């Protein structure tokens, strides 16, 4: 895998540095629910401050804002507040959510020019967003001397291990809400894994047939709910016999056991995405069971990626027990396909 040049090689003294971090953290009632991605961004920011940067201008997206109302929901303020608690230095400036600009997700050059304006160099440390060719991750890298941040480099190094000679069986377990994104990636991953276990919203979408051309293990039972609500009427159902109009909001007890068995005999594990709506306690058991099974397999090289899966690990106090906690969800899955991510490709060697 090609190594982009490191921020350590940059001369940043008295310079204004634009940093793209991935501060896209889970929120709960307008508060940061898990600050892993914020903390993971600190070493690069600290390095720049220690090296005498005049200003460290941090930008990130937050969520997937679409409507006007979303602007309040996804404002950077709570994220900035947490960052300032962890890194109180007036030279750090935090820009507003890059996705409030329509140009961002179109990789628009005009928006990239505005981001670059007044900056001397660019550091991309947003591994979790490196699979996106957006203005703040791709276009801007062509407008300023570009470098890779410490987190980005660390992630490439650790996840790169999954691309080399891995010990088998390799079990890939995936869930979460971004179904369209992930199915595309899983399709390309093909038979790289010896077993692919699927839960969460992704399993729900596969209920009527899988577009994947390799076998996947789907839940045999689910925790069904009469509506999408934390206090919905609910009961355990067979995967194929949910009452009409009901939703599967977690994997059921039999599935938890089956998945745990498959994970126990693995020698390499990659887990991305929760098994249900784990932020609601009544639908959290499946995700917990998977987190515990991954952490319990100390003989395997275990990688957990994605903001929500990492949040679940942290809430259970299990993060220390896995080999690598990745800040990237979709990004680490795409890296597994073996292709260079656009945010990385834009940085010279
Ligand atoms: C993530 O949470 O996976 C990254 O921050 C990227 O977010 P996105 O899927 O909305 O581009
Ligand atoms: Mg995510």
The one-digit pLDDT tens for each residue of the chain (349 residues) are: 889 999 999 999 999 999 999 999 999 989 999 999 999 999 999 999 999 999 999 999 999 999 999 999 999 999 999 999 999 999 999 999 999 999 999 999 999 999 999 999 999 999 999 999 999 999 999 999 999 999 999 999 999 998 888 999 999 999 998 888 888 888 878 778 999 999 999 998 888 888 888 889 999 999 999 999 999 999 999 998 899 999 999 999 999 999 999 999 999 999 999 999 999 999 999 999 999 999 999 999 999 998 889 999 999 999 999 999 999 999 999 998 888 999 999 999 9
The conformation of residue 278, written as its DSSP 8-state character, comes to T
Distance 306 CA to ligand 1 centre (A): 9
Whether the CA torsion 3, 314, 230, 200 is positive or negative: it is positive
Distance 52 CA to ligand 2 centre (A): 33
For residue 308, give the ligand nearest its CA. 2
Does 24 contact ligand 1 (Cβ within 6 A)? yes
Report the candidate in 1, 43, 2, 3 with the shortest Cα–Cα distance to residue 19.
Answer: 43
Could you tell me if 128 and 329 are in contact, meaning their C-beta atoms sit under 8 angstroms apart?
yes
Candidate of 20, 21, 22 to mutate for ligand 1, largest count of ligand atoms within 8 Å of Cβ: 22
Does 329 contact ligand 1 (Cβ within 6 A)? yes
For residue 175, give the ligand nearest its CA. 2
Atom number in ligand 1 closest to CA 330:
3
- How much is the pLDDT for 16? 98
Q: Whose CA is nearest to atom 7 of ligand 1?
A: 129
Q: Spell 19-48 as b/e; 16+ CB within 10 A means b.
A: bbbbbbbbbeeeebbbbbbbebbbebbbbb
- How much is the pLDDT for 266? 98
- How much is the pLDDT for 312? 92
Does 26 contact ligand 1 (Cβ within 6 A)? no
- How much is the pLDDT for 110? 98
Candidate of 20, 24, 174, 175 to mutate for ligand 1, largest count of ligand atoms within 8 Å of Cβ: 24
Atom number in ligand 1 closest to CA 22:
5
- How much is the pLDDT for 183? 85
Could you tell me if 228 and 235 are in contact, meaning their C-beta atoms sit under 8 angstroms apart?
no
Distance 6 CA to ligand 1 centre (A): 23
Instruction: Using alpha carbons, list the distances in angstroms from residue 118 to 144, 221, 339.
Output: 10, 56, 33
Distance 25 CA to ligand 1 centre (A): 9
Does 22 contact ligand 1 (Cβ within 6 A)? yes
Within 104-217, strands assigned E span: 121-124, 146-148, 170-174, 195-198
Atom number in ligand 1 closest to CA 178:
9
Per-residue pLDDT reduced to its tens digit, 183-227: 888 887 877 899 999 999 999 888 888 888 888 999 999 999 999
Does 107 contact ligand 1 (Cβ within 6 A)? no
Atom number in ligand 1 closest to CA 64:
10
3 state DSSP class of 256: helix
Could you tell me if 217 and 258 are in contact, meaning their C-beta atoms sit under 8 angstroms apart?
yes
φ, ψ (nearest 5 deg) of residue 187: -55, -45
Per-residue pLDDT reduced to its tens digit, 9-56: 999 999 999 999 999 999 998 999 999 999 999 999 999 999 999 999
For residue 63, give the ligand nearest its CA. 1
Residue in the structure block whose two tokens are 């009901």: 246
* pTM more than 0.85: yes
Does 343 contact ligand 1 (Cβ within 6 A)? no
Burial class (CB in 10 A: 0-12, 13-18, 19+), 166: middle
């Amino acid at each position: 895998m090609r190594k982009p040049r490191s921020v350590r090689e940059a001369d940043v003294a008295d310079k204004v540095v634009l940093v793209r971090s991935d501060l896209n953290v889970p929120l709960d009632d307008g508060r940061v629910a898990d600050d892993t991605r914020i903390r993971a961004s600190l070493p690069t920011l600290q390095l720049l401050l220690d090296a005498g940067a005049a200003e460290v201008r941090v930008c990130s997206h937050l969520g997937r804002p679409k409507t006007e109302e979303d602007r309040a929901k996804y404002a950077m303020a709570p994220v900035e507040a947490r960052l300032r608690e962890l890194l109180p230095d007036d030279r750090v400036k935090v820009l507003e959510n890059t996705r409030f600009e329509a140009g961002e997700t179109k990789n628009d050059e005009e928006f990239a020019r505005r981001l670059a304006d007044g900056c001397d160099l660019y550091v991309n440390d947003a591994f979790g967003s490196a699979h996106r060719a957006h203005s703040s991750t791709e276009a801007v890298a062509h407008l300023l001397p570009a470098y890779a941040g410490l987190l980005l480099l660390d992630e490439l190094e650790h996840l790169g291990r999954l691309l080399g000679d891995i010990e088998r069986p390799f079990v890939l377990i995936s869930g979460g809400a971004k179904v369209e994104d992930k199915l595309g990636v899983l399709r390309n991953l093909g038979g790289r894994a010896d077993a692919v276990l699927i839960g969460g919203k992704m399993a729900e979408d596969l209920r009527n047939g899988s577009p994947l051309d390799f076998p996947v293990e789907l839940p045999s039972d689910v925790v069904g709910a009469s509506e999408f609500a934390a206090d919905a009427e609910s009961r355990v159902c067979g995967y194929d016999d949910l009452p009409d109009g009901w939703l599967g909001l977690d994997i059921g007890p039999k599935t938890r056991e089956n998945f745990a068995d498959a994970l126990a005999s693995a020698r390499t594990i990659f887990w991305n995405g929760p098994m249900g709506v784990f932020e609601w306690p009544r639908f959290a058991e499946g995700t917990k069971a998977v987190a515990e099974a991954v952490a319990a397999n100390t003989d395997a090289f275990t990688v957990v990626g994605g903001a929500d899966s990492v949040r679940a690990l942290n809430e259970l106090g299990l993060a220390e027990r896995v080999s690598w906690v990745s800040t990237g969800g979709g990004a680490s899955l795409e890296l597994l396909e073996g292709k260079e991510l656009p945010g990385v490709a834009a940085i010279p060697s």
